């Protein structure tokens, strides 16, 4: 999915703004910028795509996240 909406606002938020159909059913979020593991303690940045920076991902994510000790960059094809 896109990391942001068409107006550049974050899609990944601290709290859902839409009605929930199921709670705690997602264990990974993959966007056009990064891959996050969803854990009980919060999001963990696992991978990000070449051309993105962690600073940009932080700025465009609507919640806090930690960075894996083994975070890796996914190369462009």
Q: What is residue 5's predicted lDDT score, i.e. its pLDDT?
A: 94
Q: What is residue 17's predicted lDDT score, i.e. its pLDDT?
A: 83
Residue 77 has pLDDT above 80, yes or no: no
pLDDT digits (tens, 9 = 90+) for 14-56: 988 888 888 778 899 999 999 999 999 999 999 999 999 999 9
In a domain, 64, yes or no: yes
Secondary structure, 3-state, 24-72 = CCCCEEECCCEEEEEECCEEEEEEEEECECHHHHHHCCECCEEEEEEEE
In a domain, 11, yes or no: no
In a domain, 56, yes or no: yes
Q: Which domain holds residue 75?
A: 49-77
Q: What is residue 18's predicted lDDT score, i.e. its pLDDT?
A: 83
């Amino acid at each position: 999915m896109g990391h942001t909406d068409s107006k550049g606002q974050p899609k990944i938020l601290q709290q859902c703004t839409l009605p929930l159909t199921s709670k705690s059913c997602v264990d990974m979020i993959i966007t056009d910028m990064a891959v996050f593991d969803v854990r009980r303690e919060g999001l963990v940045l696992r991978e990000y795509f070449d051309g993105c920076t962690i600073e940009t991902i932080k700025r465009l994510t609507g919640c806090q996240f930690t960075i894996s000790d083994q975070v890796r960059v996914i190369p462009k094809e």
